[in-house]
Amino acid sequence: MAVASVTKRFGILTAGGDCPGLNAAIRGVCRAAHDRYSMEIVGIANGFRGLIDEDVRILKPADFSGILTRGGTILGSSREKPFAPNGKDDDITDKVSAIKETYAKLELDCLVVLGGNGTNTTGYKLSREGLNVIGLPKTIDNDIFGTDKTFGFDSALTIGTEAIDRLHSTAQSHSRIIVIELMGHKAGWLALYAGVAGGGDVILIPEIPYDIRVISRHLEKRSKSGKMFSIVVAAEGAMSVKESEMDKKDRKKFRAENGPSVAYRVAQKIQEETGMETRATVLGYVQRGGIPSSTDRVLATSLGTAAAELLAKGKYGRMVALLGDTIGSVDLSVPEGKVKNVPTDHYMIDTAKAVGTCMGAE
């Protein structure tokens, strides 16, 4: 028996980096909205690009059935940023006008956007243009302000931890230092948690600029104590003290000249400083692929069904969120333009230090 709903028809899109759990979230929104409230659902292809190009299709139950365990997103994704200046002001106006026209032409009551900081910020900006928008936080980086955790993070944490476990055996066999780079270009949550879970000897995160001399002394001390191998876990956004003092433009130039991968830069410096054989591994997009963990499936489904409830009640302009151990929502303005960084006094940093991990700085 369908229950009355304020929302009769909504559009749904996924934007930004994909992650395990996206399809579980899509399924949560769509099954609750369709089965409980008989809402009509318009699937929008490839993030905001699909709205601009009117690349859409009606989603039927068969479309959102059997996708709980599938990685990626059935809708496709892009990093199209309608409000991002790219040198031609009229370009933004045209893109936003096209989005508003598609929204009106499809007779949508609301737009549900699944994405990271940028996607929810775009959703908020569209809400200020008069569209009804509900946001769903997703990213392996876990760096979205307003929610205690994002789905995608747990799956990537499992993948990263398994990789670190595997590197232990090869580093030990060759008495080597291996530097593994995990994703997280602005926040170090993934590297911090996987580093603790995998027993990393050094963990480098963007929030704590590193000093290669401190790292080298720590590794030499380990070597003198008989530990002839070490694992360094670095977030892709980790930076040296010198880099941290650069502005964005100079830092970009530095990285272009010294190699874009922090793992290779750090590995080279460690080998130069200590003379110990050092190798680098960049785990890359493996962290974003494959089936979601059970934790991510549960979180994604819960956030999805919570979004359907907001649709039914007509509570637009919200982002669903994990708040403590319950699912709630915050104003869509909350994540705008922000990044949830690792606080330098976060308990996990002291946990790492307490078991002898070097965080790259005194």
Site residues (vs ligand F6P, CB under 6 A):
16-17, 79, 116, 139-141, 183-185, 236, 288
Distance CA 209, CA 242 (A): 8
When the beta carbons of 206 and 317 are compared against ligand F6P, the nearer one is: 206
Distance CA 351, CA 175 (A): 26
When the beta carbons of 189 and 210 are compared against ligand F6P, the nearer one is: 189
Residue 58 three-state SS: strand
Q: How far is the CB of 116 from ligand F6P (least distance, A)?
A: 5
Encode 79-97: b = buried (16+ Cβ within 10 Å), e = exposed.
bbbbeeeeeeeeeeeebbe
When the beta carbons of 116 and 360 are compared against ligand F6P, the nearer one is: 116
Distance CA 244, CA 308 (A): 42
Q: How far is the CB of 151 from ligand F6P (least distance, A)?
A: 13
Encode 47-78: b = buried (16+ Cβ within 10 Å), e = exposed.
bbbbbbeeebeebeeebbeebbebbbbbbbbb
Tokens of 221: 């001390």
When the beta carbons of 108 and 283 are compared against ligand F6P, the nearer one is: 283
Output the CA–CA distances (angstroms, integers) from residue 335 to 117, 143, 144, 278, in the order listed: 6, 10, 6, 39
When the beta carbons of 218 and 288 are compared against ligand F6P, the nearer one is: 288
Q: How far is the CB of 269 from ligand F6P (least distance, A)?
A: 22
Name the active-site residue from 35, 89, 109, 141: 141
Give me the torsion for CA of 286, 287, 292, 294, rounded to 10°: 130
Tokens of 105: 């032409």
- Residues in Cβ contact with 158 at an 8 Å cutoff, skipping those fewer than 6 apart: 293
Q: How far is the CB of 79 from ligand F6P (least distance, A)?
A: 5
**What Rg, from alpha-carbon coordinates, does the chain have?**
22
When the beta carbons of 108 and 282 are compared against ligand F6P, the nearer one is: 282
> Is residue 217 packed enough to be buried (19+ CB in 10 Å), middle (13-18) or exposed (0-12)?
middle
CB atoms within 10 A of CB 251: 15
Question: Is 55 a residue of the active site?
Answer: no
Contact 206, 260 (CB under 8 A): no
Q: How far is the CB of 109 from ligand F6P (least distance, A)?
A: 29
Could you give the residue numbers annotated as active site?
Answer: 141
